[in-house]
Amino acid sequence: MSATFAVRLCSLLLLAGGIAAHAHAAETPITLDTPTGQLAGTLELPAGADKPRVALLIAGSGPTDRDGNSSMIPGRNDSLKLLAAGLADAGIATVRYDKRGIGGSHAAGSAESALRFEMFVDDAAAWIARLKADPRFASVAVIGHSEGSLIGMLAAQQASAAAFVSIAGIADGASTLLRKQLEGKLPPELEKESERILVSLESGVVVDPVPPALATLFRPSVQPYLISWFKYVPAQRIAELTMPVLVVQGNTDIQVDVVQANRLHGARPGAKLEIIPGMNHVFKHVRAVPELQVASYGDPSLPVSPLLVKSIADFLHQGGAATP
């Protein structure tokens, strides 16, 4: 870490701490009606702001709730909750929500066999439409984290958001990502079976039966969802966006490599790229040491990167410093 960066980071951390000690924004419940039930969220308004910009925060994959916490990981990191608070201190309103089937939106969930990726996109687009119709806000942006980046870019285009921010988003399609994750981890016969299944799903054809050893990944009930998800390649979709785009990535993220951010940025001419030194997947400044990384996923006392907050707030306040 350079001396200049260290001074800048320390100053921002002190600023963040000073802001946190003052009056905070107001958090209020907000809901969205869908054909299958109600989605629950949290609206965070900056204190004293007159007609602020608002950003929709979209969580990553799996059972990750509106605050950025997953039921599959012990403890809480509160990544999205802390990001919302930081943005509110910078004058940006936010809405973060539990995806269908998760947390307060559990009742809106569908049977696994009926779930499709487009449902999450349509939900996000409906939130955008609701916020655009709210006269309290000057404009509506979308911030998607991890898998939420792909959901966000599709919804932002569908609902004509004012700006789009990707945090730790991948450029590869989901099937390519799965191949990389499975590479070298399966016996040869299962690797061959896995590839056969992936090729079939990529072509839109379900596979049944599935070898028991691969059932967790490719059980018949989840295959329709995988087919719907595999259709979308983020690097292709981000190129289609017509609004300003910011791509943000931490360089100590052990889940998503900086290469993915560079590819997303390269796919969208005019996009802005921010590589944040020392930031991991849950927005915390943590060295790339496995035990420290694991601990950070369950430690809400660690603040989110003030550099992340500043880069997003500056981008949104400028109306998106990028050109379509």
Q: Which of 208, 231, 254 is the last residue of a domain?
A: 231
What average pLDDT does the structure give for the chain?
Answer: 92
Q: What are φ and ψ of residue 316, in 5° steps?
A: -70, -40
Q: What is the mean pLDDT of residues 260-270?
A: 97
User: What is the predicted pLDDT for the residue at 24?
Assistant: 58
Q: What is the mean pLDDT of residues 126-130?
A: 98
163 and 178 assigned to the same domain: no
CA distance 93 to 50: 11
User: What is the predicted pLDDT for the residue at 12?
Assistant: 44
- What is the pTM for the complete model shown? 0.91
Q: What is the mean pLDDT of residues 264-276?
A: 97
163 and 239 assigned to the same domain: yes
Name, in order, each residue with C-beta under 8 angstroms of 113's C-beta and a sequence gap of 6 or more: 220, 221, 222, 224
168 and 179 assigned to the same domain: no
258 and 158 assigned to the same domain: yes
Cβ atoms 122, 156 nearer than 8 A: no
Q: What is the pLDDT of residues 28-87, one digit of tens each?
A: 999 999 999 999 999 999 998 899 999 999 999 989 999 999 999 999 999 999 999 999
H helix or E strand, kind and range, residue 33: strand 26-34
* 6 within a domain of the structure (yes/no): no
Q: What are φ and ψ of residue 75, in 5° steps?
A: 80, -170
Token code pair at residue 159: 């609902």
276 and 180 assigned to the same domain: no
Q: Which of 215, 231, 247 is the last residue of a domain?
A: 231
Pairing of the two strands 54-58 and 93-97? parallel
43 and 141 assigned to the same domain: yes
User: What is the predicted pLDDT for the residue at 22?
Assistant: 38
Q: Is the pLDDT of residue 11 over 60?
A: no
116 and 79 assigned to the same domain: yes
* 241 within a domain of the structure (yes/no): yes
Q: What angle do CA 5, 149, 96 make, to 5 degrees?
A: 90
131 and 183 assigned to the same domain: no
83 and 138 assigned to the same domain: yes
* 87 within a domain of the structure (yes/no): yes
Residue-number span of the structural domain to which 215 is assigned: 174-231
CATH number at residue 45: 3.40.50.1820
The separation between CA 135 and the C-alpha centre of its own chain, rounded to angstroms, equals: 26
Residues 27-52 as b or e (16 or more Cβ within 10 Å = b): beebebeeebbebbbbbbbbeebeeb
The Cβ of residue 12 has, within 10 Å, a number of other Cβ atoms equal to: 16
CA 68 vs CA 65, 96, 118: distances in Å: 5, 9, 21
Task: Give the total number of structural domains in the chain.
Answer: 2
User: What is the predicted pLDDT for the residue at 166?
Assistant: 98
* 58 within a domain of the structure (yes/no): yes
Place of tokens 């955008």: 128
Q: What is the mean pLDDT of residues 231-247?
A: 98
CA distance 200 to 293: 36
Torsion sign, CA atoms 181, 182, 183, 186: positive
Q: What is the mean pLDDT of residues 183-211?
A: 97
Share of the chain above pLDDT 90, in %: 89
